[in-house]
């Protein structure tokens, strides 16, 4: 079987990582992959696997299927393949009132990374035949989690229990809530720290740092627990770009990942944290439900309950996304605080091998065979 995979895989971020993972998974199980990139920005990632470059050099002739892992307004309907498939990433409760919904209807099938999104599209009636909507999770090379990175050190944190977040800085990530919960739960006398590795599209590292410092200081002022914000723990903010090796080292250095966002199609940093045994604290919606699981095994991580509220996003990547026509998940701050306290108190009792053991079902081979089955290979 020969598959054309079209994606934004030369961009920086999760879209690229997900697309590269899917292509390598298909190759692992014997699918002949042809790759074509759709650029989005003027700042593409500088490194892609050599195997992906070889996929780019292949001819388009005789491709059996086409997988379009692109923003929905880039989708193209065609009858030139046995199957024309869209791979959708979305984070709100429903996109039925968004133009994206209409773009998807021209496709033969729609694949999504988590079961919540699959159920949403089925519930909204995207297709009369619900079998045309399938869940295909993200995947990666699990060997990287078993390789120690060069140790790192952050001044003042080496002997503390370190909560941490790695990712974008935007309203959907709900970082104000994370900072609020951390300072509300832990007294200054307790040996804990909060590390925030942040980036924001279109902003320099200094601009990101300034935004983060201002946000954290505002949260502390509004909490009014002490007369001075200097009496709170000081957050460790990393806004500089660091290589993949540095990200791996940060995962291995810190203790408990926290991403109580308003919605995640998958959340690669949370999945990475689970595989490193860092018990991610995530919202009970979207991708984390599928890899952390709903069986309440706290050695793997925690899903925080919450409610669906009206989107009020000031920095959406697109004008029609996350408007008041949509709802997103709002995790309970009490639940976030309880989870943080639990992992701090139980830090010596966690079985940190459970996460990587659970991740085996998301290996290249497992996900590749799932895709192969859906393609009829």
Residue in the block written with tokens 């988590």: 114
List the one residue out of 153, 93, 228 whose CA is nearest residue 101.
Answer: 93
Tokens for 127, please give them. Answer: 């297709």
pTM: 0.96
Note the pLDDT tens digit of each residue in 8-34.
999 888 889 999 999 999 999 999 999
How many angstroms separate the CA atoms of 275 and 145, rounded? 6
DSSP state of 318: S
How many angstroms separate the CA atoms of 186 and 207, rounded? 28
All residues at 6 or more sequence positions from 242 whose CB lies less than 8 Å from its CB, including other chains? 197, 250
Residue ranges of the chain with pLDDT lower than 70? 43, 377
* 8 Å CB contact between 165 and 196: yes
Q: What's residue 40's pLDDT?
A: 86
Q: What's residue 47's pLDDT?
A: 82
How many angstroms separate the CA atoms of 186 and 160, rounded? 12
**Beta sheet of 256-259, edge-to-edge order:** 236-238, 192-199, 161-168, 256-259, 281-283, 302-304
Q: What's residue 377's pLDDT?
A: 61
144-361 CATH fold: Rossmann fold (3.40.50)
2-136 maps to which CATH number? 3.40.50
Domain ranges of the chain: 2-136, 144-361
How many angstroms separate the CA atoms of 373 and 377, rounded? 6
Q: Do domains 2-136 and 144-361 have the same CATH topology?
A: yes
All residues at 6 or more sequence positions from 66 whose CB lies less than 8 Å from its CB, including other chains? 3, 4, 6, 78, 80, 81, 83, 84, 85
């Amino acid at each position: 079987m020969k598959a054309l995979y079209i994606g934004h895989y030369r961009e920086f971020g999760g879209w690229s990582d997900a697309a590269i993972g899917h292509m390598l998974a298909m190759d692992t199980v014997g699918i002949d992959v042809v790759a074509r990139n759709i650029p989005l920005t003027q700042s593409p990632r500088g490194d892609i696997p050599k195997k992906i470059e070889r996929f780019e050099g292949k001819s388009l002739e005789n491709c059996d299927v086409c997988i379009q892992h692109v923003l929905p307004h880039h989708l193209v309907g065609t009858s030139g393949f046995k199957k024309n498939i869209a791979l959708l990433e979305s984070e709100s409760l429903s996109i039925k009132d968004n133009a994206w919904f209409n773009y998807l209807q021209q496709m033969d099938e729609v694949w999504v990374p988590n079961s919540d999104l699959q159920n949403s599209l089925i519930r909204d009636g995207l297709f009369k035949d619900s079998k045309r909507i399938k869940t295909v999770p993200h995947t990666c090379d699990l060997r990287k989690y078993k390789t120690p990175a060069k140790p790192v050190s952050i001044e003042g944190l080496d002997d503390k229990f370190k909560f941490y977040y790695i990712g974008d800085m935007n309203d959907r990530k709900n970082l104000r809530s994370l900072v609020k919960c951390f300072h509300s739960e832990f007294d200054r006398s307790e040996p804990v720290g909060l590390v925030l590795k942040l980036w924001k599209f279109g902003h320099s590292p200094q601009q990101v740092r300034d935004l983060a410092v201002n946000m954290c200081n505002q949260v502390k002022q509004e909490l009014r627990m002490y007369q001075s914000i200097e009496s709170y723990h000081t957050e460790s903010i990393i806004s500089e770009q660091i290589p993949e090796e540095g990200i791996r080292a940060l995962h291995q250095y810190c203790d408990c990942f926290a991403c109580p966002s308003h919605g995640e199609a998958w959340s690669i940093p949370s999945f990475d944290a689970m595989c490193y045994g860092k018990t991610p604290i995530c919202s009970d919606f979207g991708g984390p439900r599928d890899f952390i699981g709903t069986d309440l095994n706290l050695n793997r991580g925690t899903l925080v309950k919450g409610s669906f509220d009206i989107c009020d996003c000031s920095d959406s990547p697109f004008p029609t996304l996350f408007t008041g026509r949509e709802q997103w998940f709002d995790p309970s701050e009490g639940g976030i605080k309880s989870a943080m306290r639990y992992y701090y108190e139980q830090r010596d009792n966690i079985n940190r091998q459970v996460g990587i053991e659970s991740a085996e079902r998301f290996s290249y081979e497992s996900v590749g065979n799932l895709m192969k089955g859906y393609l009829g290979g």
